[in-house]
Amino acid sequence: MQNPEPYLRISGLCKSYGEGDAHVNVLRNITTTVDKGEVCVLFGPSGSGKSTFLNLVGGLEPADTGTITVGDTQITGLTGKELVEYRRRELGFIFQFYNLVPDLTIRENIEVCQYLSKNPLPVDDLLRSLGLWEHRQKFPNQVSGGQQQRCAIGRALVKNPGLLLCDEPTGALDYKTSKEILQLMEEVNQTYGCTMVIVTHNDAIRHMSHHVLRLRDGELVEDEKNESLVPAAELEW
The domain segmentation of the chain, as residue ranges, is 36-62+77-234
Class of domain 36-62+77-234: alpha beta
Can you tell me the distance from the alpha carbon of 66 to that of 80, in angstroms, rounded to the nearest whole number?
18
Question: Which pLDDT belongs to residue 3?
Answer: 62
Tell me the average pLDDT across 149-163: 92
Those residues whose C-beta lies under 8 Å from the C-beta of residue 21, and which sit 6 or more positions away, are none
What are the beta bridge partners of residue 163? 91, 195
CB 211 within 8 A of CB 38: yes
The pTM for the full model equals: 0.90
Instruction: Answer yes or no: is pLDDT of 111 > 80.
Output: yes
pLDDT at 89 > cutoff 90: no
pLDDT confidence tier of residue 1, bands split at 50, 70 and 90:
very low
Distances in whole angstroms, Cα of residue 153 to Cα of each of 5, 95, 101, 160, 206: 25, 9, 14, 11, 20
Average pLDDT over residues 123-135: 94
